[in-house]
């Protein structure tokens, strides 16, 4: 049992990838370290538990990455997804540092799997953790325990008490009981606030009741809100979140990767009134899946239904939930509690609008389009006419929020007046808005967490010693 009366060199708020990278690095630099994880042990690790890989720059193939992924290509990819909503200095620093993390990760017991085919072709850009994010966390926690880092589970940070730009003490609840702990330096690695539905409601209204939170229920943004209330500079649009289309039957929290649904490009998607509302075939799915969460969030009751026929059904991976299946469109509509007449009319209208004589190719943008619909379907448009028919209900699934705390290149948190905080650092989701202000690149969250976790740990340990 850790002695909670002592003053630690470094206190880390959070228990995910970024937190553990900071804690281990600080400990390796000689600091005494306390990690406060809000979740119970079984659910430790925040959203890192649901991750699978890390995007890394590399100039030549290695044991876990194929080919090469140079800094400029990486930066171009980031620029494209963020639409320029990034900080080039911090971004390029992160990208360059990403090439040098593997040795340290492997020393910490993290294992990678040889690059695989069929994983969105990410084998070139992303290194896959053997067993996924929870296996990575297990390795980090074992390393942390071996190094003598004190870890408290079921421990929520209530307030980081700041005075004159420095954290003087930290109020926590340990297994439900209030306590105060002290540390010379503090690293905030406590994630975003997407699991705090009341906070989300401020921007989205009651629509949040129909949102699915893909990750941990413990990312309630308590540390984030507490810091922003004490003069820490915010970054990122508070109203924005990363939202994808999920099977509507997914659990409210923690469904992770398996509830995703890739049916949209080969389907007709209608809202609860049976009307189409967006071009299902606008682009390949990996480039579009992240806009569909928002599209569905804007529909009545935040729900949509993806309908396809037996020609299209084998073209995509099913979700973990079985599709609704029926021999006629009307029966399918009834099973999904939609108006059968309306859905029938929508499908008939769609089928009539499909330009005849096109050749279908699901492997590329095939240009198969409808003519005369609002909106058109501009690729993979084929008549939905061969039973049995299949349907899936869709909901917006929230991955993370963009609001965070502003940091400099030493992972030091910046105050509203632009001055760095005295002893406060940040890593991971809570500061990723500095670099990723919009959109997402697969595996980039783990890259930011690892790189900034290492910097924050290093800097906090150094600062604590001085």
Partner 1 sequence: MRETEAIANARREVEICNACRYCEGFCAVFPALELRRDFLAGDLSYLANLCHGCRGCYYACQYAPPHEWGINLPRTLAEVRAETYAEYSWPPGMGKVFERNGTLVALATALSIAVVLILSMAISAPGRFWVARPMEADAFYSVIPLWAMQIVGIASFGFSLFAMAMGARNFWRDAGPKDRVGIVAIAIALWDVLTLKNLGGGGNGCNDNSERFSMRRRHLHHAMFYGFMLCFAATTAGFIYHTFLGWPAPYPLISLPVILGTVGGILLTIGTIGLFAMKLIEDPMPVARQLLGGDVALLLLLALAAVTGLVLLVVRATAAMPLAMAIHLGFILALFLVLPYSKMVHGVYRSAALLRRAVERNMKPLGGE
Any residues with CB less than 8 A from the CB of 336 and at least 6 apart, and which? 305, 324, 391, 393
Q: How far apart are CA 411 and CA 418, in angstroms?
A: 14
Q: Rule CB under 8 A: say whether 49 interacts with partner 1.
A: yes
CB of residue 127 vs partner 1: minimum separation in angstroms? 12
Q: Which residue do the tokens 């905030």 mark? A: 188
Per CB under 8 A, the segment of 10-18, 155-163, 225-233, 315-323 that binds partner 1 is 315-323
Q: Looking at 102, 128, 292, 402, which residue binds partner 1 (CB under 8 A)? A: 128
Nearer to partner 1 by Cβ, of 174 and 321: the residue is 321
The least distance separating partner 1 from the CB of residue 108, rounded to whole angstroms, comes to 13
- Interface with partner 1 in residues 228-257 (CB under 8 A): 251, 254, 256-257
Piece in contact with partner 1 (CB under 8 A), picked from 129-137, 238-246, 323-331, 340-348: 129-137
Q: Does 363 bind partner 1 (CB under 8 A)?
A: no
Residue 97 C-beta-side C-alpha neighbours within 13 Å: 21
**Sites for partner 1 among residues 316-345 (CB under 8 A):** 316-320
Beta bridge partners of 397: 212, 244
Question: Which listed range, 68-76, 78-86, 126-134, 221-229, lies at the site for partner 1 (CB under 8 A)?
Answer: 126-134
**52 counts as binding partner 1 under rule CB under 8 A:** yes
114 SS3 class? coil
Give dist(CA 99, CA 108) in Å, integer. Answer: 17
**Residue 345, exposed/middle/buried by CB under 10 A (0-12, 13-18, 19+)?**
middle
DSSP helix/strand/coil, 371 = coil
Residue 261: HSE in the Cβ half-sphere, 13 Å Cα cutoff? 32
Q: CB nearer to partner 1: give 54 or 461.
A: 54
> Could you tell me the CA-to-CA distances from 456 to 34, 372, 403, 417, 464 in Å, in that order?
14, 56, 19, 21, 12
- Nearest to partner 1 of 146, 465 (CB atom): 146
Contact positions with partner 1 (CB under 8 A) in 201-220: none
Q: Is 388 in the site for partner 1 (CB under 8 A)?
A: no
Assess 444 for contact with partner 1 (CB under 8 A): no
Question: Does 118 help bind partner 1 (rule: CB under 8 A)?
Answer: yes
362 forms part of the interface with partner 1 (CB under 8 A)? no
Q: Which of 4, 96, 106, 111 binds partner 1 (CB under 8 A)?
A: 111
Q: Which CB atom, from 199 or from 324, has the smaller least distance to partner 1?
A: 324
Among 74, 141, 392, 402, binds partner 1 (CB under 8 A): 141
Query: How far separated are the first and last CA of the chain, in Å rounded?
Result: 28
Question: Residue 346 is inside which H or E element, if any?
Answer: helix 340-353
- When asked if residue 50 is in the footprint of partner 1 (CB under 8 A), the reply is yes
CB 142, min distance to partner 1, A: 6
In 104-215 the beta strands, taken as DSSP E runs, fall at 126-128, 150-152, 155-163, 166-174, 177-188, 212-213
Structure tokens at 267: 């389907």
Q: Are 43 and 216 in contact, with CB atoms under 8 Å apart? A: yes
Contact at 8 Å (CB) between 307 and 270?
yes
Name the site residues for partner 1 (rule: CB under 8 A). Answer: 42-43, 49-50, 52, 111, 113-114, 116, 118-120, 128, 130-135, 138-139, 141-142, 251, 254, 256-260, 262, 316-320
């Amino acid at each position: 049992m850790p002695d909670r009366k002592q003053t630690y060199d470094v206190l880390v708020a959070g228990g995910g990838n970024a937190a553990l990278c900071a804690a281990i690095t600080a400990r390796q630099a000689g600091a005494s370290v306390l990690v406060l994880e809000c979740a119970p042990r079984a659910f430790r690790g925040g959203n890192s538990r649901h991750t699978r890989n890390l995007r890394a720059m590399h100039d030549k193939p290695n044991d876990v990455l194929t080919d090469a992924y140079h800094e400029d290509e990486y930066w171009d990819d980031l620029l494209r997804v963020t639409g320029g909503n990034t900080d080039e200095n911090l971004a390029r620093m992160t990208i360059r540092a990403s090439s040098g993390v593997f040795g340290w990760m492997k020393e910490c017991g993290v294992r990678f799997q040889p690059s695989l085919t069929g994983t969105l072709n990410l084998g070139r850009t992303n290194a896959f953790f053997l067993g996924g994010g929870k296996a990575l966390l297990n390795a980090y926690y074992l390393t942390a325990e071996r190094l003598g880092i004190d870890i408290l589970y079921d421990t929520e940070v209530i307030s980081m008490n700041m005075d004159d730009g420095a954290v003087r003490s930290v109020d926590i609840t340990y297994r439900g009981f209030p306590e105060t702990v002290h540390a010379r330096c503090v690293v905030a690695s406590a994630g975003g606030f997407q699991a705090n539905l009341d906070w989300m409601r401020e921007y989205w209204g009651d629509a949040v009741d129909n949102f699915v939170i893909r990750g941990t229920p413990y990312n309630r943004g308590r540390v984030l809100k507490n810091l922003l209330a004490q003069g820490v500079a915010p970054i990122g649009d508070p109203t924005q979140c990363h939202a994808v289309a999920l099977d509507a039957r997914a659990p409210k929290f923690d469904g992770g990767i398996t509830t995703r649904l890739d049916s949209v490009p080969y389907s007709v998607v209608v809202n609860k009134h049976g009307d189409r509302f967006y071009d299902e075939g606008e682009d390949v799915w990996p480039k579009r899946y992240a806009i569909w969460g928002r599209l569905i969030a804007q529909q009545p009751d935040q729900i949509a239904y993806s309908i396809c026929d037996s020609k299209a059904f084998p073209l995509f991976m099913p979700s973990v939930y079985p599709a609704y299946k029926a021999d006629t469109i009307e029966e399918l509509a009834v099973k999904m509690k939609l108006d059968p007449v309306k859905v029938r009319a929508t499908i008939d209208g769609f089928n009539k609008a499909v330009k005849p004589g096109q050749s279908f190719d699901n492997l590329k943008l095939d240009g198969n389009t409808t003519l005369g619909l609002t909106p058109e379907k501009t690729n993979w448009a084929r008549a939905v006419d061969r039973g049995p028919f299949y349907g899936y209900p869709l909901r917006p699934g929230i991955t993370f929020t963009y609001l965070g705390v502003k940091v400099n290149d030493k992972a030091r948190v910046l105050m509203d007046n632009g001055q760095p905080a005295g002893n406060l650092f940040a890593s991971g989701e809570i500061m990723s808005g500095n670099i990723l202000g919009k959109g997402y690149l697969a595996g980039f969250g783990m890259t930011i967490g690892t790189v900034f976790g290492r910097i924050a740990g290093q800097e906090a340990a150094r600062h604590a010693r001085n």
